[in-house]
Structure 1
Amino acid sequence: MIKHALKDIENRGWPINYRGDILIHAAKTCTKKEYQLAREFCQGMGVVIPELISLRRGQVIGIVTTRISHEGEKNTWISQT
C-alpha cells in the first residue's frame, strides 16, 4: 500500500529517529491464506494485486522516505485496538 502511494503513514509502537530512504522488502514466502487475506483487504480499497504466482518475493520492491515521527497522531491508518 505504501509502495503505490495509497498509504501515507506507517504505524509502529515505538518512535524512530532515522530520517531518509528505507527499502521495502517483500517476504520470501506467502501462503495461499495470507495472499487471500491481503487480496481481500486490497480489493476492499479498490486495489487489484497480481496473482500469487506472479508476485515478486524475497526482494526489494520499493523505496519510501521517512520524514517525521508523531506519537498519538489521528490518522485513518491507525489501528483501533
Structure 2
Amino acid sequence: MRHPYENFYKAQLGALALAVLLAVLGLFKLDHQWIILLMFYVLAASFLFEALIELKTQNMLNAIIQLLHVLIIFLFTTILYF
C-alpha cells in the first residue's frame, strides 16, 4: 500500500537532488550565475513541497514555517541576483 503523500515526498526528493546537482555544476561553471539562481529557486520549491506535506497532515505551524522559508529564499535570492 502506498503512502497517501508519496508523490509530494518524491517531488521534494527530486527537487533536493536537482538543487544539489545544480550546486555542484555551479561550482565548476562560475561564469554562469543563472545556474546558482536556478538552484536557489529549486531549493525553495523543495521547501514548498514540504510545506504542502505539512499542510495536508494538518500541521499548520510547520507549514507556515516552511512557507516562510520559501518566501525568504525566493525574495533574498531575487533581490541579490537582480
TM-score (norm 2): 0.26
Structure that is richer in helix per residue = 2
Comparing both chains, which one has the higher relative contact order based on Cα–Cα distances under 8 Å and sequence gaps of 6 or more?
A: 1
Structure that is richer in strand per residue = 1
TM-score (norm 1): 0.27
